Homo-oligomer: A and B are copies of this chain.
Amino acid sequence: MAALVTVGEFSRLTHLSVKTLHHYHEIGLLAPVSVDPSSGYRRYGTTQVDTALLIRRLRELRMPLAEVRELVETPDSARREETLRAHLERMEQELAHTRDVVTSLREMLTPGQPALDVDYRFVPAFRAYGVRDQVEREQIGPWCERTFGRLGAIGAEYGILATPGATYSDDFFTEDTGEVVAFLPVAPDQVPADGVEIVDLPGGFFAIGVHSGPLNDFDRTYGALGSHVAEHCQVAPGPIRELYVVSPGDVDDPAAWRTEICWPIQRIPAPKG
């Protein structure tokens, strides 16, 4: 009953190019019903149109072919829904991200960025409750939310008033994934607590820049501080620290947020004449 058609015809039915259909055949995503053994001509069935259109739709959503395959090969409709929903969530996230980037771009193109002033400080070694994890750049938002939620709860339990912070390994920035340690300073004799470890952070000199306001141009402050350090100081080994002086957990208004970025340096540079 279902007629067999050539690639060209199938292409017209599905609005997928012949090249694309060849490709899908090659990778085994959408194989024709039969292939003439002598001529190599592909024959598609008209019942495949629906599958082809489904694939086309998913591709329009920029879904990678690997996921598309997973989806079209899964007969279980619950799991299909699941995969799809996950993808949509990613797209929503991307969209939100886009909006952020756009606003920060606007600020960037209209010049007049205020100069960052940098503070030098010696920070003694201290002990803290810590949560250590290998985190991907993209996941850092949710991770922080979870982790500082937990740390905050423990802090409240023990009546700790210290400012929380985190250290970020270089890899985290350059490889898009690396070790992050969220910490909440405690007294040296503090008892262990559930779900967190005790970490000892080394002391040293730091160049410190303060980022105020929403986080969408955080990297500019970061770059400005880094530039300053490169120009005026000798960097020291060790991860960069951030101190969340006023964080999203404290107040809702993004304008009030304050983060201190602490860049390890060898010593405090001599002021210029």
Which residues of A are interface residues toward B (Cβ below 8 A)? 1-3, 5, 8-9, 11-15, 17-18, 46-47, 49-50, 52-54, 56-58, 60-61, 77, 80-81, 84, 88, 91, 95, 97-98, 101-102, 104-105, 108-109, 170, 173-176, 219-220, 222-224, 226-227, 230-231
Whether the pair A46, B231 counts as a contact (CB closer than 8 A) is yes
**CB-CB < 8 A to A224: which residues of B?**
49
Q: Please indicate which of the listed interface residues A102, A219, A227 has the most CB atoms of chain B within 10 Å of its own CB.
A: A227
Q: Are A57 and B108 also in contact (CB < 8 A) when A49-B223, A220-B50 are? A: yes
Interface of A is mostly: helix
Knowing A98-B91, A109-B84 touch, does A12 contact B231 (C-beta < 8 A)?
no
Sample of 10 further A-B pairs with CB below 8 A, known A15-B173, A77-B109: A12-B170, A12-B226, A13-B222, A13-B223, A18-B174, A46-B230, A49-B227, A50-B223, A57-B108, A84-B105
Copies assembled: 2
Contact partner, A88, options B52, B102, B104, B173, Cβ 8 Å: B102
Task: Give the residue name and chain of the B residue nearest to A233 (CB).
Answer: B3
CB within 8 A of A49: which of B13, B88, B95, B226? Answer: B226
Neighbouring B residues of A109 by C-beta, 8 Å: 77, 80-81, 84
- A159 CB, nearest partner CB in chain B, Å: 37
